[in-house]
Structure 1
Amino acid sequence: MKKNLVLGFLAVLIAVASCSFTNKTFENNDKDKLLLDIITYILEKGHYAPKDINDDFSVSVFEDFIDVLDPTKRYFQAEDIRDFEQYKFQIDDQIKNTDISFFNLVHERYIQRMDEVKVIIDEVLDEPFDYTIEESINSDYDKRPFTSSKAELKERWRKQLKFWTLNTFDTKLKDEIEKKKDDPDYTSLSMAQVEKESRDVTRNTLKEFFDFVDNLERKDRFVQFINTIVDKFDPHTAYFAPEDKDYFDRQISGRFEGIGARLQPEPEGAKIVEIISGGPVWRGQLLEVGDEIIKVGQANETPVNIVGMPLDDAVKLIKGPKGTTVNLTVRKVDGTIEEVAIVRDVVEIEESYAKSAKVIKKDEKFGLISLPGFYADFKDYADRNAASDVAKEIERLKEEGMEGLILDLRDNGGGSLRTAIDMAGLFIKDGPVVQVRASDNDKMVYEDKDERIQWDGPLVILVNEFSASASEILAAAMQDYKRAIIIGSNQTFGKGTVQTMYPLENVVHVNEYGDLGAIKVTIQKFYRVNGESNQLEGVKSDVVIPDRYRYIVLGEKGQANALNWDKIDAANYKVWDGYIDFEKTLEESNKRIASNPQIELIEENAKWLKEQQDETSMPLNYDLYKARDKESREKSDYFKKLSEYDSKLTFESLKYEQELFTKDSVLREKRNRWHINLSKDVYIEEAINVLRDLKLNNIKNEKLAHVKG
């Protein structure tokens, strides 16, 4: 109901805006100015926490737009920044007056500097690199200033080009050794020849990069400027140009072609922040969250260096038609560099659905349900949704003797609010599940009103830093009711906001401008039944088990301009009374974790990865580079024994699925691989231990025992 009220308000807002903008006239750059006017109007009137567009806002846009275009400070110079600073405190006024002078100046200078840098790069690459000199390059770009002269800029580029070429130089030297081993008559290239070929590779890579950049239009840069403004409101509010909106729509529909990974911009490339279940990356198991893509090559073509490239541009290179190959040069989480070939494909929808397994420990049987997302068909909710699918899996597990249930929400980025509420109802009799508040401070409490309980036995929910939104709603509700024990990372993602998408064609009906795209705007915040927000702080696990990302800032806390955490009045709810000694179970679990060697190794790995991430100085001397690379690879190999762990648990598919295997060998292979991975999972092992403790401390509620789901 509340959502309908909000959308109703925004419908009025759009109607008013439509009249206002249709009557406006603009002299130059009409479409850009109109776009700026519409978007800022919607943000000021429709955003959950609208910003004051003032001098502070102006300074933030000023700094961030320059950073978007030149995050590594290798194009603009100090004199450019001084020229730009005439607008540092005026961008707010320009936004209100639909003046884009700042954008025009920065964009024109950017094009000029790009052309000058091409000349510098050729000059640098014409000269051999001396890898015997002991020097280094620092990747802490935030702390270094813009260069004050062309000579200083050229020196910055020299070090960067030397660094990029160093890995190629090392690879080619290794290839020469292998060729000689395979063929003793082979005449090896000299060191100088290898060095020359390595520089040529870098030159060709950068030529591809600049060819791509040169094909970008002014409108592409203007979209980046618009999103720099939009991003100031919160990290989940964004403008989508027409072609980007089409891509977003495909993602929302659950069907998209590409590699199956969500990326985040970083100064040194595009970081993988989510791997989509069922996609090519997920199937190949060659990449992981935290890896940074630094080069993108199409099949049989020279890879394009995407360092410093805006994320939207990099994504255009990475995505492509089903069946085509993209070659990615990746800096792994541990600092090593690898090249990975991925065949683009359509993400397999089935792998985005709930799946279950029977877990056997000695003579005890437990159930595991993995839920990658809170999916739903919004046109026909009853047809298929995550809540009804989980209910079916629970019934199947009960039929096979399940004594406790694990609901795995790790890496679950959320989805439908309604499915989260319905799913909570599978485990509690009735009561509030989540509270939602709009910008007018009026709140709505969403409740489970169905008194049926699908599962009243021991329940554990697994989460990690990538469990977000609807996952956090369900986990928080089960935690507040003390219905489940939450096991996982210190906290979940921390996304406690809801967004809605507005096609701008609904705002301005002026055909001469064509499709203006759409804007996704944050309109509400979620709150737990205890009154606390999930925003920023996420859901804190009852039992914290460290993972390899423990010391790396991820989730909402790693996002700029995230909305704050706050608290409202608690809803009226009654804590679940099904467990005899809830706190004792937590105490026993923490004792096991403290003495588990596998968890100690995970903690050690997490600290090492943090050290690797914090290291910003990289040697340009070949011997020092080799020594550091050898050390990193040895440490990386040392931690590979994490994947050799055996929990001694047995995992089996349910009977209905085993019957499908006779006709579907692909499904059989997927489930076998899943079960192998589960048997190495110490988090699943501890979840089973907790379920066993809860089983001993569980009150069987006789009056609910007869209730069927």
Structure 2
Amino acid sequence: MLKSSYFVLLLSLVSFFGYGQNNGLFCDQIIALKRTIKINHYQPKVVDDSLSTHVFDLFLNSLDEDKRLFTKSDVAQFEHDRFTLDDYINTGSCEFINNYTTILSARLEDTKRVISNIETEDFDYTGKDTLIFKPETTFKYFNNDEALKNYWSKRLRYNILYTLVENDSVLEHIKNDFKALESALKPKVIQKELCKLEELKNRLGSVDNFVKEAFLNAYLHYQDPNSSFFNASEKEMFVNALSNDQLSFGIITSKNDDGDIIIVHITPGSAAFNNVDIEVNDVIKSLSTNMKTLETYCVSDEDVLAFTSDQNHNTITFKIKKQNGTLQNIELTKTKTKTEENTVFGYIIEDKSKVGYISIPSFYSDLESPNGLGLANDVAKELYKLQKENIAGLILDLRFNGGGSMKEAADLSGMFINRGPLSILRYSNGETYTINDMNRGALFTKPIVVLVNNYSASASEFFAASMQDYNRAVMIGSATHGKASAQVIIPIDTNEALGFSKMTVEKFYRVTGKSHQAQGVIPDIILPNLYDGFNTQEEFIAYALKNDSIAGIQNFPKLKKLPIEQLKKKSLSRIDNDATFNALKRLNKLIIKNYFELDTEYPLTLDNVYSEMIRYKNQWNTINTPLENHSARFTVKNTEYTKEIISYNDDKKTINQAILKDIKTDIYIEEAQRVLQNLLNLMPQN
């Protein structure tokens, strides 16, 4: 790295005159956040040396997570702040942040220069250098400039070899034309890495913004991992994710291999849908309002989403590059659009009995509706349609449901029990409040199976726990995420320009007084899981709230115990002899071995990279074949009402066919259907 004293001095001056101008806002944010945490957080931590050292580690990790930018000398310099961040917070001092912004900016530029300079060098693929693969936890900061250059030289060479094999799996083809293929690919691979660095440089608008928000988030994440800082755009995006009706342009974007932001989906009925000039696969070159323009080259898809989600950007001019190469400026104004991902539909699964199936993606709510109608209301409508089809039971799928509105979770729980307490909230002062189902009677009284996995969290766990405590449903799958806390979005100051916080303000407990915090809701029947051993649950996240218990409710109107042991025995027998579930177990072990526990090295040659890639690919294909070819014996179809609705819309027909296929090939849904069939046999309905 070119770290001359002149260069460092120049950057220091830029820091003083450039970044320092914005520090007034940052100082105010620190003061406001400290006050807000103390008043509102469920378990605020003392601002002392202990807080300082932990926030320091979180902050540094968020700036350079893979340890590929900072050097050991940089980190040694930062270490002076390890026990002084608490002093800065207590005094509202914020000039310390400039050092991090200055050095991160410098390292980004240094890395870009190193990568750019490498492009002129001839790469050595003879095996003189060795590739070393280690688990991420063993990553270390670079010792010096030579280590940085050596890393990028090997990484770029590996990326080139990897891409060549990915493009053509016949080794002889690559060898026969290696020089030309390598020469053509090299600048593309280098440009891709430069673009990633440019994205980081432009994240949140500037390195300065990125560093400051990283610190505010580190401060909040030390309180607990579910508390975080939001700027106005991030707050808007989060709120929209919890609503099935939102103001939007109706455009979903993605980044292609060339670094372009392309339109991958247009929501039916949206502003974009109603404009004939905008199409899927169009490239977005820039976004402009009266006040601001975002050029999309080397900008992340997340930053594009933040720009379009900004509540101040209700009208945007999209500069679009069509597939024929022409450019168009298209002005769109946000309209209220129903979010497809936050909408539920009921399906019929038929084998020996006819049962209903509903996948619940999140516990969304219409935040602008006077009645707050959302997920529970939508499920009620689908249940009505399913019951018209005379279903004997119901499968509710909560896999990958990260939560949402607790009110929706309570309303949904109340649809399946007669009446009674659902959960106990506990506030920071120790007071408790019992959430009750106040509506006598149940909307659906037949047997239920609920599918969960380790990505089912928060409101999902609220619902799953209440169903389990009331003996209302059989829970199958894997232990859930383990988040038994509730957050609210609040401005950190009366001046909302300072930003917002999603802050943990309470914990919730099962009616028994037990908690699933950091443990998860344990299913009645545990199924093999592709994500076993990934350690993504709350218990593996630093500073997660601890599990505890409180006094529960002794007498609540739970139902007669379900025949869990009989169902478990039958399910276990099926799973042990099921080729697809056994394949899934082997696939899980393959992923763990090759991604989480990989610890190997070999000479950097085309032959070695090829053999490693082909070995893994062949293993994957062999194991994955039973899963790819699996098809359940049941039939799956739409309700009569849904058939009529989709008959008028070709897009909906296409999406519907894909969903029907997914249901039929999903081994978990198949096992849920078998468990439900066993339950129906053991509990015959009148």
Q: What is the TM-score with the length of structure 2 in the denominator?
A: 0.80
Q: Structure 2: how far apart are the matches of 1:568 and 1:97?
A: 38
Do the aligned partners of 1:546 and 1:602 also contact (CA within 8 Å) in 2?
A: yes
Do the aligned partners of 2:228 and 2:501 also contact (CA within 8 Å) in 1?
A: yes
Cα gap change, 1:676 to 1:152, in 2 (>3 Å): closer
Aligned to 1:30: 24
Do the aligned partners of 1:357 and 1:367 also contact (CA within 8 Å) in 2?
A: yes
How many angstroms does 1:361 deviate by?
0.9
Equivalent of 1:680 in 643, 655, 665: 665
**Which residue identity lines up with residue 622 of structure 1 in the other structure?**
L
For residues 676-700 of structure 1, give each alpha carbon's deviation from its aligned partner in whole angstroms, at most 9, with x where no partner exists: 2211222222222222222233276
Equivalent of 2:611 in 591, 602, 627: 627
Q: Structure 2: how far apart are the matches of 1:314 and 1:667?
A: 26
For residues 301-330 of structure 1, give each alpha carbon's deviation from its aligned partner in whole angstroms, at most 9, with x where no partner exists: 9xxxxxxxxx9966226778799799xxxx
Equivalent of 2:188 in 201, 206, 215: 201
Matched, 1:108 2:102: yes
Aligned to 2:675: 690
Aligned to 2:46: 52
Q: Structure 1: how far apart are the matches of 2:131 and 2:336?
A: 43
Equivalent of 1:411 in 375, 400, 403: 400
How many angstroms does 1:508 deviate by?
3.6
Aligned to 1:339: none
Q: Structure 1: how far apart are the matches of 2:339 and 2:677?
A: 34
Aligned to 2:429: 440
Equivalent of 1:159 in 154, 157, 160: 154
**Which residue identity lines up with residue 501 of structure 1 in the other structure?**
I
How many angstroms does 1:633 deviate by?
1.6
Aligned to 1:556: 538
How many angstroms does 1:171 deviate by?
5.2
Do the aligned partners of 2:225 and 2:541 also contact (CA within 8 Å) in 1?
A: yes
For residues 408-428 of structure 1, give each alpha carbon's deviation from its aligned partner in whole angstroms, at most 9, with x where no partner exists: 112222222122212212221
How many angstroms does 1:596 deviate by?
2.0
Matched, 1:528 2:518: no
**Which residue identity lines up with residue 87 of structure 2 in the other structure?**
D
Matched, 1:501 2:489: yes
How many angstroms does 1:634 deviate by?
1.4
Q: Structure 2: how far apart are the matches of 1:375 and 1:82?
A: 46
Number of residue pairs aligned between Structure 1 and Structure 2: 604
Do the aligned partners of 2:41 and 2:505 also contact (CA within 8 Å) in 1?
A: yes
How many angstroms does 1:542 deviate by?
0.6
Aligned counterparts, 1:41-440, within 5 A: 41-133=35-127, 135-170=130-165, 191-215=178-202, 216-254=206-244, 255=246, 259=252, 280=265, 299=283, 315-316=302-303, 349-362=339-352, 364-380=353-369, 382=371, 384-440=373-429
How many angstroms does 1:259 deviate by?
4.6
For residue 100 of structure 1, give the secondary structure of its aligned residue in structure 2. Answer: coil
For residues 312-362 of structure 1, give each alpha carbon's deviation from its aligned partner in whole angstroms, at most 9, with x where no partner exists: 966226778799799xxxxxxxxxxxxxxxxxx999624422211121114
Which is worse superposed, 58-67 or 427-436?
58-67
Cα gap change, 1:218 to 1:300, in 2 (>3 Å): closer
**Which residue identity lines up with residue 377 of structure 1 in the other structure?**
D
How many angstroms does 1:250 deviate by?
3.2
Cα gap change, 1:675 to 1:453, in 2 (>3 Å): same
Aligned counterparts, 1:483-502, within 5 A: 483-489=472-478, 491-502=479-490
Aligned to 1:636: 620
Cα gap change, 1:695 to 1:245, in 2 (>3 Å): closer
Q: Structure 1: how far apart are the matches of 2:243 and 2:440?
A: 32
How many angstroms does 1:158 deviate by?
2.3
For residues 75-101 of structure 1, give each alpha carbon's deviation from its aligned partner in whole angstroms, at most 9, with x where no partner exists: 322222222222211111111112234
For residues 501-556 of structure 1, give each alpha carbon's deviation from its aligned partner in whole angstroms, at most 9, with x where no partner exists: 1124x5248xxxxx222111110111111112232211111111112112211232
How many angstroms does 1:474 deviate by?
0.9
How many angstroms does 1:654 deviate by?
1.1
Cα gap change, 1:208 to 1:393, in 2 (>3 Å): closer
Cα gap change, 1:144 to 1:681, in 2 (>3 Å): closer
**Which residue identity lines up with residue 590 of structure 1 in the other structure?**
L
Q: Structure 1: how far apart are the matches of 2:656 and 2:682?
A: 32
Q: Structure 2: how far apart are the matches of 1:398 and 1:675?
A: 19
How many angstroms does 1:444 deviate by?
0.6
Q: Structure 2: how far apart are the matches of 1:300 and 1:378?
A: 31
**Which residue identity lines up with residue 236 of structure 1 in the other structure?**
N
Aligned to 2:14: none
Cα gap change, 1:27 to 1:601, in 2 (>3 Å): closer
Q: Structure 1: how far apart are the matches of 2:529 and 2:423?
A: 28
In structure 2, stretches of 5+ residues that fail to align are: 1-19, 255-263, 269-280, 286-297, 309-317, 323-334
Which is worse superposed, 630-639 or 142-151?
142-151
Cα gap change, 1:393 to 1:699, in 2 (>3 Å): same
**Which residue identity lines up with residue 654 of structure 1 in the other structure?**
T
How many angstroms does 1:214 deviate by?
4.8
How many angstroms does 1:384 deviate by?
3.7
Aligned to 1:465: 454
Do the aligned partners of 1:77 and 1:149 also contact (CA within 8 Å) in 2?
A: yes
**Which residue identity lines up with residue 232 of structure 2 in the other structure?**
P
Q: Structure 1: how far apart are the matches of 2:547 and 2:68?
A: 37
Aligned to 1:338: none
Q: What is the TM-score with the length of structure 1 in the denominator?
A: 0.78
For residue 231 of structure 1, give the secondary structure of its aligned residue in structure 2. Answer: helix
**Which residue identity lines up with residue 127 of structure 1 in the other structure?**
E
Which is worse superposed, 651-660 or 586-595?
586-595
Equivalent of 1:545 in 519, 527, 532: 527
Cα gap change, 1:612 to 1:315, in 2 (>3 Å): same
Q: Structure 1: how far apart are the matches of 2:536 and 2:666?
A: 22
For residue 93 of structure 1, give the secondary structure of its aligned residue in structure 2. Answer: helix
How many angstroms does 1:626 deviate by?
0.4
How many angstroms does 1:558 deviate by?
4.1
In structure 1, stretches of 5+ residues that fail to align are: 1-25, 181-187, 262-278, 284-296, 302-310, 327-344, 510-514
Aligned to 1:453: 442
Do the aligned partners of 1:258 and 1:319 also contact (CA within 8 Å) in 2?
A: no
Do the aligned partners of 2:66 and 2:139 also contact (CA within 8 Å) in 1?
A: no
Q: CA RMSD for the aligned pairs? A: 3.5
Cα gap change, 1:203 to 1:218, in 2 (>3 Å): same
Do the aligned partners of 1:457 and 1:698 also contact (CA within 8 Å) in 2?
A: no
Do the aligned partners of 1:580 and 1:699 also contact (CA within 8 Å) in 2?
A: no
For residues 132-191 of structure 1, give each alpha carbon's deviation from its aligned partner in whole angstroms, at most 9, with x where no partner exists: 20611335454243233322332233222323333344457779988x9xxxxxxx9953
Q: Structure 2: how far apart are the matches of 1:664 and 1:657?
A: 11
How many angstroms does 1:670 deviate by?
2.5
Which is worse superposed, 576-585 or 158-167?
576-585
How many angstroms does 1:115 deviate by?
2.9
Q: Structure 2: how far apart are the matches of 1:661 and 1:121?
A: 52
Aligned to 2:591: 609
Q: Structure 1: how far apart are the matches of 2:169 and 2:215?
A: 44
Cα gap change, 1:143 to 1:251, in 2 (>3 Å): same
For residues 92-129 of structure 1, give each alpha carbon's deviation from its aligned partner in whole angstroms, at most 9, with x where no partner exists: 11111122343222222222333333332233332222
**Which residue identity lines up with residue 92 of structure 2 in the other structure?**
T
For residue 75 of structure 1, give the secondary structure of its aligned residue in structure 2. Answer: coil
Cα gap change, 1:494 to 1:72, in 2 (>3 Å): same
